[in-house]
Amino acid sequence: MFFRKSSSFFDGTGGGATEARVPAAYARQVPWVPGIGDIFADFSADSTFGRFEFHDWAKDQWTVLFGHPQANSAVCATEIAEFAAAQDDFDRRNVRLLGVTQSDIQTESAWIADIEGTFDVSVVFPVVADEGGKLARLMGMFHPNSVRPLPVRKTFILDETMRIRAIFEYPNAIGRSTHEILRVIDGM
């Protein structure tokens, strides 16, 4: 059967004639994915600023953590440049920026240097190397039934206690808006 009831959606408390069906493949148990209200996991990784300990770096400040599918793509480059151009806006709000990209540190460092030259910006926030995609998986950036191996673009807004306050997801071809992210931060 293609569609079936999922026990995660139906606990018997709703009653009535309302019923929903999900594709059978989606109705299985899935691993934990960070959600609004959760404490974001701590991690260590190499970054464009050296070895990186996330909670130590982010404590006591709000953080925008954004994941990219890969280095050296046009959409990812314009996003990094847009975040760099808006750095003063984030600083005024006491918000740190952190990128996560599926590439090795040498590729990331060269890519960031290229972005700085091409867009005439200074990237003063770290970008974490996630060559094997471990952080992308932790962040829930891969759909379990995806036919493409690239993760989606995902953004987390975290408060000073590492609690997730907002999450955005975008398809690979659509870039994020720093204006929208700042609007959401201002609303909190």
Residue 157: which of 75, 61, 70, 57 has the closest Cα? 61
- From 58, 64, 76, 100, active-site residue: 76
Q: Which comes out higher in pLDDT, residue 145 or 34?
A: 34
Distance CA 112, CA 178 (A): 18
Q: What would the mean pLDDT of 120-145 be, rounded to a whole number?
A: 86
Catalytic residue status for 76: yes
4: its two tokens:
């079936």
167-181: pLDDT as tens digits: 999 888 888 899 999
Distance CA 20, CA 105 (A): 45
Whole-model pTM?
Answer: 0.82
41-50, 85-94, 144-153: lowest mean pLDDT where?
A: 144-153
58-79: pLDDT as tens digits: 989 999 999 887 777 888 889 9
Domain ranges of the chain: 36-187
Q: Which CATH class is domain 36-187?
A: alpha beta
